[in-house]
Amino acid sequence: MKVHFKKEAGFLRSKIFLIIAVIFTLLVLVASGREIVRRLQIEREIEKLENEVERLETENTELRGLIEYFQTESYAERQAREKLNLQKGGERAVIISENVSEEVSLERARQEERKSNLKKWWDFFFAHPSF
C-alpha cells in the first residue's frame, strides 16, 4: 500500500493536477462573479419597484382624496354655480371679465367719440408730451 500511496502523492504534485486545479478555481470564480452581478441587478430592480410602489401609493392617496372631494356637497354646489349658472336664493351673479384691458380701451374709445372736435384738437396739440 505504501507504493500506491506514493503514486497518489505524485499525482497531486504533477503539472496536470495543477492545471486542473487552476481551471476549476477559475470556473468557480467566474460563476461566483456572475452570481454577484446577478444579485446586484436583482437588488437594483427591487429598489426601483419599491420606489414605484411608493409613488403609486402616494398617487392613490391623492386620488382617493379627490374622489372624496368630488362626492361632497360643496363640490356639487360649485359645479352647479360654474357650469349651470345656478344661484342660491337671494344671491346675485356678477360677471368679471378676464380681459379688463380690452374693456378699458373700449371705454376710452367711447369717451373719445363723445368729445367735440375742438376738444380733440386741443388734446392733440397740448395734451400729448410728444412735442
Q: Band of the pLDDT at 3, cuts 50, 70, 90? A: very low
For the chain, what percent of residues have pLDDT higher than 70?
A: 79
C-alpha cell of 59? 398617487
pLDDT at res. 44: 97
If one counts every other C-beta atom within 10 angstroms of the C-beta of residue 24, the result is 10
* pLDDT surpasses 60 at 117: yes
pLDDT at res. 57: 97
* Averaged pLDDT for residues 7-14: 66
Q: Name the residue ranges covered by the structural domains of the chain.
A: 2-85+102-127
Q: Band of the pLDDT at 17, cuts 50, 70, 90? A: confident
Per-residue model confidence as pLDDT tens digits over 37-89: 999 999 999 999 999 999 999 999 999 999 999 999 888 888 887 787 777 77
> pTM of the full predicted structure?
0.44
- Distances, alpha carbon 98 to alpha carbons 22, 77, 102, 103, 107, in Å: 83, 23, 9, 10, 16
Q: What is the mean pLDDT of the chain?
A: 82
C-alpha cell of 21? 486545479
